[in-house]
Each structure stands twice: as structure tokens, then as C-alpha cells.
Amino acid sequence: MPVISHPNLPSLERLKSSGLVLADELSVHKSNRKDLHIGLLNLMPDAAFQATERQFVSMLANNEEYLIHLYPTSVSTENRSDKLKAYINDHYNEIGEFQNRKYDGLIISGANPSQQDMTKERFWKPLIEVFEWAESNTSSILCSCLATHAIMKAKYGIERQMRDEKAWGIFKHQLGEQNHPLTQGIEDGFDGPHSHYYDFPIEEIESTDLQILASNDYAGIYLAASKGGRLVLFQGHPEYSKNSLLKEYQREIINFVSGKRDDYPTRPNNYFSDSTSEELDELKKSLLSNPREISLNDEMISDIDCNWQSAGKTIYRNWLESLASA
């Protein structure tokens, strides 16, 4: 799907070398394509902000049938760096202006949690306000990770629960609804990334209008949706790039050596090769005796084929097709 952003996102230029189809004058005026207007509420912290843009665009830009008009916005920008404030001011829609139009769909990104009680997070109130507005101004709302946790609480009254240990890595998933429109073309046992400390009681979700579309016995829900698809909830991360878990692991190691966390982080499951895992074990021994800043090289994941994105793009394509027929 050719993608054009309103206003233009300079970070999209980095995607052209990835073979994704970004909009040009020809695609904008091609009469046999259907236009879809998608909002993106980006809540990610500064370090991951532009990477998140690229990740979601990579999910959208994989089919020639539609022309995707993307409208990025954000909220609670007062705690941003001056550099990112300027970037948001130049390339994002102000939230009031953003809400002056209707959209076929809205994507709400995850965020960086700092509180166990989400209602105390800086983003909580504006996130819920945008969500409630979107229920009447979009055909479907697609939430990612922490946004899913927030909506589970705000809309369904379901409290997330702290896990015994973090679920993160690459996991295989069972399909809950074999013939659901969102999972058409997906095979049982498909791979997908997770990264979350919290989870939901399955029985509480089953008491709502939500259908669990994909899950893993250990990592929990990957994808759920309301009947009719007006709400799509990812706890997994199909949009993750090849090095997303590597960068997250590096950040957690740095948090340990700097004293921001007490324990050395466990490695993501089913992500690193055996030889890289051995290398990381040696690094752990070294850091425990000599804490210091480190940088993990992308060569550590050179053998990863990123196959989870294929299933993710299929789900997103199915979502866009449902918007086109709404």
C-alpha cells in the first residue's frame, strides 16, 4: 500500500531502501486505488519515537490496492526533549486539529510505563480522551501493548496483573478463531514478539465481547478483537523490527549497570542463536564483576529472518480490507 503522511514525516525516507511502497504523484492520482485515512497516536518515549513511526508504516505499506493517508499526532509532549518537541511541532498534527476530521482507522502505539497504576501515568487522561473520541470518529481502533492494557482497564474494567517474570522474546501462537477475518491467511503456530511484565486473566476477557484471536500458553494474548472488529487489541508486537528486542535488551543491561534496576535482565526467549547466547553469558559475567556501559552490535542478530513480520503484515492487510468494506 503506498503511504503518504500528512504532514510529511522525514523518517519515512529511511524506508524507501527497504522496498516499501511510499506514495508518489502517480500513486496519489491512480484512480483504481481506494484511499484509506489512518490516524497514528504515537505515545512512545523520545528514543523510540521515530522508530515507532517506521515500524507501523512498515505494517501498512505492503499492498498496492490502497493508498494510505497517515495522520500522526501525539499528546503530553511537555516532558519531551527540545529536539523532539520541535520534530513533533513540524511533522505532527496538533491533537485539536487532528480531531477535526474522521478517520477510517486509528492506531494507538504503546508507551513506556513508569507506574504500576496506569491511571497515574502522564499519558493516561489524554489517551483515554482520544480513545473515547475515536469510538465515534473512526471505523476501528487498533491498540498496541500498553495502549491495549489501558483500554482493557478503561473500557472493560479488567485490571492487568503482574507476571512472575517478563514475557519477552519470540513465541509461537495458537489461533483462537480459525475463520476470523483478521487472521485469514495466518497459519496456526505463527511466530510473534512479546515484551510485557503484565497480563490479563483469560476468563475475564472471555466474559466480554472480545474474541481472543491468537495467544501463547506462556506469553499470553497476542491479539484480540471485539465482535465486528471495531476494536483490535495487540499485546504482541508484530511491528517490531529485527533489532527491537536487541535494543531493548541493551537498554535493560544499561539500566542494571547504572543502578536503575537491581537484577541482571534475562535474555529474550527464542531470539538469540546458541552461539550469541554463549557470548552474552560471558558478557554478563564480565559486567557483574566490572559494571560499565555497553553496546550490542546488530551482528549478534544477523541470522534472524524476522519472519514474524509476514504474519503481522497479513493481519494489518486484513484490518485495512475490513476498513475499506466498512
Query: Could you tell me where the beta strands, DSSP code E, fall in 178-323?
Result: 190-199, 210-216, 220-226, 231-234
Backbone angles phi, psi at 138, to 5 degrees: -140, 160
Average pLDDT over residues 274-288: 96
pLDDT of 114 reads 78
Q: Is the pLDDT of residue 265 over 90?
A: yes
Residues in Cβ contact with 21 at an 8 Å cutoff, skipping those fewer than 6 apart:
1, 2, 3, 27, 61, 62, 64
Q: What's the whole-number average pLDDT of the chain?
A: 91
pLDDT of 4 reads 86
For 73-94, the pLDDT digits (tens) are 999 777 899 999 999 999 999 9
pTM here is 0.93
Active-site annotation holds for 306: no
pLDDT of 10 reads 81
Average pLDDT over residues 100-116: 91
Instruction: Give the Cα separation of 219 and 169 in Å (integer).
Output: 9
Which residue in 145, 196, 252, 321 is the catalytic one?
145
Which residue in 180, 237, 252, 321 is the catalytic one?
237
Residues in Cβ contact with 222 at an 8 Å cutoff, skipping those fewer than 6 apart:
171, 173, 192, 194, 213, 214, 215, 216, 234, 235, 236
Instruction: Give the Cα separation of 181 and 184 in Å (integer).
Output: 5
Average pLDDT over residues 223-231: 94
Out of 16-25, 68-77, 210-219, the most confident range is 210-219
pLDDT of 20 reads 55
pLDDT of 16 reads 65
Q: Is the pLDDT of residue 189 over 50?
A: yes
Backbone angles phi, psi at 215, to 5 degrees: -155, 165
Domain boundaries, the chain: 3-241+306-324, 244-301
Q: Which residue has the higher pLDDT, 98 or 24?
A: 98
pLDDT of 113 reads 78
- Among 61-65, 161-165, 256-260, where is mean pLDDT lowest? 61-65
For 6-39, the pLDDT digits (tens) are 998 887 777 665 655 555 545 555 555 789 999 9
- Among 56-70, 207-221, 310-324, where is mean pLDDT lowest? 56-70
Superfamily of domain 3-241+306-324: Class I glutamine amidotransferase (GATase) domain (3.40.50.880)
Active-site annotation holds for 239: yes
- DSSP-based three-state secondary structure for 51: helix
Cis amide bond preceding 7, omega within 30: yes
Helical ranges in 180-271 per DSSP H = 202-206, 244-257
Q: Which residue has the higher pLDDT, 65 or 181?
A: 181
Active-site annotation holds for 159: no
Which of 267, 273, 201, 195 minimizes the C-alpha distance to 238? 195
